[in-house]
Structure 1
Amino acid sequence: MRSALLALILTTSAVYAEGFGAAGLLSGKNKEDLPPIILSSGVPLSDAPWVLKSGTYYEFEIQGDGSQELALVGPEFFRAIWVDEIVVEGLEIRPLGLDSIEFDEAGEMEIGFVAIKPGRYYLKIPGTTGETQRVEITIE
Structure 2
Amino acid sequence: MKTLIALGLSLILLPFGALADDDDDDNRLGLAGLLSATNKADLPPITLSAGMPLADAPLTLKSGTYYEIEIEADGSQELALVGPEFFRSIWIDEIVIEGLEVRPLGLDSVEFDEAGVMEIGFIAIKPGSYALWVPGSTGDTQRLAITIE
Alignment of 1:3 onto 2:5? yes
Per-residue deviation, 1:74: 0.3
- 1:98 corresponds in structure 2 to 107
Q: How does 1:47-126 map to 2 (within 5 A)?
A: 47-126=56-135
For structure 2, which runs of at least 5 residues remain unmatched after alignment? 16-29
Say whether the 8 Å CA contact 2:14–2:33 is kept in structure 1.
Answer: no
SS in 1 for 2:118: strand
Q: TM-score, normalising length from structure 2? A: 0.83
> Where has structure 1 moved over 4 Å in runs of 4 or more?
9-12
Say whether the 8 Å CA contact 2:70–2:118 is kept in structure 1.
Answer: yes
Q: TM-score, normalising length from structure 1? A: 0.88
CA RMSD in angstroms, aligned pairs only: 1.7
Say whether the 8 Å CA contact 1:22–1:28 is kept in structure 2.
Answer: no
Q: What is the letter of the counterpart of residue 110 of structure 1?
A: E
Rounded to whole Å, the distance in 2 between the matches of 1:65 and 1:130 is: 19
Rounded to whole Å, the distance in 1 between the matches of 2:51 and 2:121 is: 26
For structure 1, which runs of at least 5 residues remain unmatched after alignment? 13-20
- 2:19 corresponds in structure 1 to none
Q: How many residues align?
A: 132
Rounded to whole Å, the distance in 1 between the matches of 2:146 and 2:98 is: 26
Q: Of residues 132, 138, 145 in structure 2, which corresponds to 1:136?
A: 145
Per-residue deviation, 1:42: 1.3
Q: What is the letter of the counterpart of residue 145 of structure 2?
A: E
Cα deviation 1:57-97 (Å, max 9, x = unaligned): 10000011111000000000000110110000111000000
